[in-house]
Chains A and B, each alone.
Chain A
């Protein structure tokens, strides 16, 4: 019993830590399943995009409303809690268009397009340009320049919902990567501290067991952290620049280090358990671990603090 006691303590500690780590990662995962996306394009009878149209989603159960405006290409996006909604499309010079029922679920984006017919302007909420009678607010006169006057290329003016979805996924995964990286720092530091009693002339198996347990936890959490960075989608046409280049360069050091360190550690552990002095390639366990931990810390700092 006395021999098992420290191991049980370590087990309880590790389980607590794992629960804490999951609690940190869980909110974005839960949020992903309870919030849905409604997106679409608002156009007129001829199929021409209607910009600055107001799109209002009203929750049928709670009566809560959320409004957005369409962009230059008539596109809109609403992030809504899962439920049943009524969608109202309004624009100056057009009749109000309504989708009486739409179900929003957490996992699949709902595409709902609005087709507006020309007619009496909406009489309810004024369009954003008319909301306030500012002394020198922009007018809707025919002399006002339009986007087509500015010589912008179609790539610069057309929205890309696919790219937006890719960006959303990338940010979601990198948020988890960032959070897991922070969590991993805890057991990583604890592993380094525990190593002081595990190596050298120490003959304590408890210290070694603790060091191994913490190291294993660090490795597991590191694996999850790395997964979310590696699997985050790349955005085509993006050239990497700035601190992120250093952050990624550090991964080429701490990545292999996180594989090599436990292998060398296992050899050192065996040698120590057999009553031998740590020798050969296993003696590199400490230095490799220090370089790995250092590169991990540098990677974390490079994207956190501006030097």
Chain B
């Protein structure tokens, strides 16, 4: 009798434990980098990011990847030049990894530690503020990553012999769905 109760308890416990795991999928995204040059400002936009989050024991691991080629600044010449300086043909993806507590999904704002691989280099950004808006199973996330060219050992591209600024903040606008 005790053995049967124990078996039922274990089955229920395993089911409950398994039910605690959940996954997040990136549904929509807009990533925008901003480049400043003495003569003009430029933005490059990508909607091609793919992302997944896996939650286990209250912690979620997230991975987001976006092809470098997918950024569009409205000028093919500029995009090719950006692709060259960021070594985008050789290292075609920008990847972002982070780990967040599962409970953060309900918070209005969080600070995330991000690890970004780009142009063959890895950089870490501590406590990047992100705003969250939860509606049912969907979380809308916005924020700005304070990236710089030197973080990834990228030589600032220049136009008319004037280089762009080192700062290239990346605005993030993402919609995640929990499954």
List chain A positions with a Cβ less than 8 A from chain B.
39, 52, 68-72, 75-77, 128-129, 131-132, 134-139, 141, 143-147, 149-152, 156-161, 163-164, 166-168, 170-171, 174, 178-179, 182, 235, 238-244, 247, 303-306
Contacts and interface: CB of A to CB of B under 8 A. Distances in A.
B63 A149 contact: yes
Contacts of A160: 89-90, 92
B120 A138 contact: no
Contacts of A179: 161
Contacts of A149: 52, 63
A68 B120 contact: yes
9 contacts: A69-B120, A128-B122, A138-B97, A138-B113, A161-B90, A167-B83, A239-B76, A241-B74, A244-B75
A178 B162 CA distance: 12
A190 B118 CA distance: 46
A114 B39 CA distance: 44
A218 to B, nearest CB: 19
Given A128-B115, A241-B76, A150 B90 contact: no
Contacts of A247: 77
Interface in B104-133: 112-113, 115, 117, 120-122, 124, 126
Contacts of B161: 179, 182
Contact of A77 (B52, B75, B87): B87
A141 B61 contact: yes
B115 A70 contact: no
A247 B78 CA distance: 13
Interface in B53-99: 53-54, 56, 59, 61-63, 65, 67, 73-78, 80-81, 83-85, 87, 89-93, 95, 97-99
B89 A170 contact: no
Interface residues of B, number: 53
B2 interface: no
Interface of B: 21, 39-42, 50-54, 56, 59, 61-63, 65, 67, 73-78, 80-81, 83-85, 87, 89-93, 95, 97-101, 112-113, 115, 117, 120-122, 124, 126, 153, 159-161
B115 A138 contact: yes
Given A128-B115, A134-B113, A164-B90, A304 B56 contact: no
B90 A303 contact: no
A147 B93 CA distance: 10
B91 A72 contact: yes
A171 B91 CA distance: 17
Contacts of B121: 68-69
